[in-house]
Structure 1
Amino acid sequence: MEDVMIEMNDAMILRIRSLVVAMVNAFDIPAQRELIAQAATIHSPTGIPTMLEFQVDRSLEPAHGSPNPLDVTAEVKTAEGKDLGMLVLWIDAEGYLYSLEFSWVVDDRPDTLPRVDQIIPRLGPSKTWT
């Protein structure tokens, strides 16, 4: 399958920010306040829907003490409740958000990001699919 870049317009940036905030805000985690502040500044995303990299305002406080990847993931479901995959948030060595990964468990790789209403945040290590 050929890599398909998604159009990075304002609506897509808002979707990325919303997904990240929903994941980070779901549980009381280390550096939650810093991560939410960073998420509000996500800009310049690049990549494909299953592996996006982006920039955040580096003048904000870093998220020291946060594991990489973040211990909050999100299961992605269809409207019927079937598994589509999982979202994983990555933080760089300096404590700044930099990537959103969408791993999939369906035959065809997703060509867009899920909506916030399609995710179920989970606390703990990444889920092992069986």
Structure 2
Amino acid sequence: MIDCSNPVDWQDGPRVREDLQVPETLRRHWVDARLVKAFNTVGSAQVLHPTVNGQPIDLFLCGDDEEAKETVSRLGTGLGFHPVDSGPLRNAPLLEHLAVLLMSLSAHSFRGRSITLKLEAE
């Protein structure tokens, strides 16, 4: 199961709703699901065109099941993304905060919805 949601409170600008833990809620309802948090940092504009400056957009994902993460990584690669394993499912709130940061930057920049994050290393 892929959790691509972001529990956002839009009052006073976008911010993560700390009172709503989506992965934990999903786990309670679907005990046997192999849950991966992914696609929540990708804007709707990037779904059809997952590149920036000719490079694949990073697809951050996290989960506790390595096989499930590999399946989601292959899906992301097939769609044109560059998967970035972001650790265990307990890191899901970090990805939600990252998504809200991107929403905020998008709202306050000239880039609009085309803003994304790309990790680079030498």
Q: TM-score normalized by structure 2?
A: 0.29
Q: TM-score normalized by structure 1?
A: 0.28
Q: Which has the higher helix share?
A: 2
Q: Which has the higher strand share?
A: 1
